[in-house]
Structure 1
């Protein structure tokens, strides 16, 4: 089938990462289909039409068959943008089949499998000096001494496509996403307490610092593993503060050796598609360590168009056969910020009081902290007023629900 500029785009998992892609492609007159198993925020965008589909987390075969049949009926091959792990896994594993009727923006399964399974990636990372932290599996823990602590316990993977009901496992992997263990006593207690899930976890050297020590190298690589778009940025605040997803991010340069390390991995794994390389800069040593690689768009990819390197648009154009020259973000540090303004407001005015008091701010301090040359608001962007109304409505419902629960709890304690 001949590729055309009129190829539609199908975006999967339509949370804010998916919404950002929908808005960027939609603004560029590209037809978007928001395909998800639930009505997440991106499915309400004025730039997309919602299409419900099976959930690959528990029905991979059903999802793949549905997607194949859906794409086959379209006039042009759609470009596929999976934005969460289990969607990327399902499409990557079935890439050859789906390529008959679509253009998947995802790497081959050989590469995705390595990146999704952190134990496998860290093993390869140690062998090839990918700047990954030192890691241990369950059998290695008896050999640890006190000098190895603190260590972190975290899931080998949090989400993967399957034909089983994995929601119980997924919920617990989310719960166990980041556990700092300070000594052998804490380690032994943790192993005993989490015995049911312990074989799904990996143990790793702790890199000092909160979530503001996290740096992102975001890339798009073509089928020859040539990087055509490169963004570098810094997580200003996450929630929870120690390890949470990005709530405020900004453009920021990283050292050359970090960029070279990223390029080496892309070439070594023959990677193609969008990816986020997450590095953490140790607050004591200043070293950058590669924490993980997400083989798909990440939560704040919406900053990249404002930085002159629109990874969604670059990926779409290259996938549709248009010639794309390499471009990278080269703006002044801190000059562009991406903000999920509603959660950041509540975090800084309330939630960080218990989580990380240093980030608690008054309203005026919060406003001043966000001041910069250009700002991208996740909830209020691209003239997509339906999204803004939906966010404000959900926020109001949440506040009223919390007040009702508080009043009910107060009455019951009298």
Structure 2
């Protein structure tokens, strides 16, 4: 695989961003607007690789070619005149870079925690065990051997993967597809549990069972941080997921800045210190819609899907991470906006969700066009698809949406004619 021809020596280090979906795109656009040259490194041409702020470089997929990816990355970085800053934006990229952090640090500046820390966070069994002992506000969990001891008052419970993505030298696509399918399963009673275990027996050792925290995706709150190599938090963002898709547990489609209770911030700081965390991370809390209690659902040891909101809230985590990694002086910054004054919106996806998809998924969020326009309106909106004057991104996403809509209409007409 040939190193991209247009990559040249620069005065400042490059930023290399991995997995260039909206997460990676937001980092590329924020750094690019601040004059930092970016390389969009991915195994496919995802949307961020078309940004005007980045040069695309294809690389091996760490999901199934970890050793090949690390070998390629090491040699790529070695040819640059400054150590580049590495931004992994999905679990398997973060795992691969963290596992090989010592080696890669010879030629780069990885924005990721040490492997001993990342290993705890990506392995849900291990993290919840520690969380229970240390009172990290994590929900109670059970492994497969504990399930026979459950009483009816323990239900409902949820089943979810121990991990969804990890780097390896094997073909894990079959496992990954099924972990995506099983990302969130509500089990209401013992009878449903028996049926679930029988049906999913092939994957049961890859799942964890946990107490159910009431609420839909709008019960999710984010504490986003960047901490330095001494585990001192230099950037702090707090926000709230307004809508996800699917509605119960899906990725953020609309998110906004909000304050969270002080004990949530203290809990986050304690975990960062205890685990000696460094780098960007998302702490995902869920506020129980009945009790009002906050529970720590997971910690993502890398940037998250709507990190693009942070610069508009006065705490640009990508820029803070870049500057600190390069040895520049950085002082503590936190979000400075009033609640709900800034929103991050995947506008195309949210339009289709609220006007069509939620009819089946969650009718409470189904809206007319005028209701939807009124709902998303706020003082400041960051449009994921229309940001930073990056018009090639906008054109490609609009074209892709048009193709999908046209295809859906054709299928509907074809199915309707066949039913006559």
TM-score grouping bracket, smaller chain normalisation:
over 0.9
**Displacement, 1:206?**
0.2
Task: Supply the distance in 1 between the matched residues of 2:146 and 2:239 (Cα, whole angstroms).
Answer: 35
In 2, are the aligned partners of 1:17 and 1:298 still within 8 Å (CA)? yes
**Match among 227, 249, 252 for residue 246 of structure 1:** 252
**Displacement, 1:5?**
6.5
Which 10-residue stretch deviates more, 402-411 or 361-370?
402-411
1:259 aligns with 2:265: yes
Task: Supply the distance in 2 between the matched residues of 1:311 and 1:142 (Cα, whole angstroms).
Answer: 45
Report the 3-state secondary structure (helix = DSSP H, G, I; strand = E; otherwise coil) of the residue aligned with 2:244. strand
Deviations 1:14-33 (A, max 9, x none): 00000000000000000000
Report the 3-state secondary structure (helix = DSSP H, G, I; strand = E; otherwise coil) of the residue aligned with 1:250. strand
Please give the residue correspondences for 1:228-243 in structure 2 after superposition, counting only pairs within 5 Å. Answer: 228-243=234-249
Paired residue for 2:362? 356
Deviations 1:108-158 (A, max 9, x none): 000000000001000000000000000000000000000000000000000
Please give the residue correspondences for 1:42-121 in structure 2 after superposition, counting only pairs within 5 Å. Answer: 42-121=48-127
Provide the aligned length of Structure 1 versus Structure 2. Answer: 411
Any gaps of 5 or more consecutive residues in structure 1? none
Paired residue for 2:18? 12
Paired residue for 2:409? 403
Please give the residue correspondences for 1:281-360 in structure 2 after superposition, counting only pairs within 5 Å. Answer: 281-360=287-366
Task: Supply the distance in 2 between the matched residues of 1:26 and 1:76 (Cα, whole angstroms).
Answer: 17
**Match among 198, 201, 208 for residue 202 of structure 1:** 208
Q: CA RMSD in A?
A: 0.8
In 2, are the aligned partners of 1:275 and 1:298 still within 8 Å (CA)? yes
Task: Supply the distance in 2 between the matched residues of 1:98 and 1:404 (Cα, whole angstroms).
Answer: 50
Any gaps of 5 or more consecutive residues in structure 2? 1-9
**Displacement, 1:69?**
0.6
TM-score normalized with structure 2 length: 0.97
1:274 aligns with 2:280: yes
**Displacement, 1:408?**
2.6
Report the 3-state secondary structure (helix = DSSP H, G, I; strand = E; otherwise coil) of the residue aligned with 2:328. coil
In 2, are the aligned partners of 1:5 and 1:320 still within 8 Å (CA)? no
**Match among 171, 184, 190 for residue 165 of structure 1:** 171
Which 10-residue stretch deviates more, 362-371 or 311-320?
362-371
**Displacement, 1:402?**
1.2
TM-score normalized with structure 1 length: 0.98
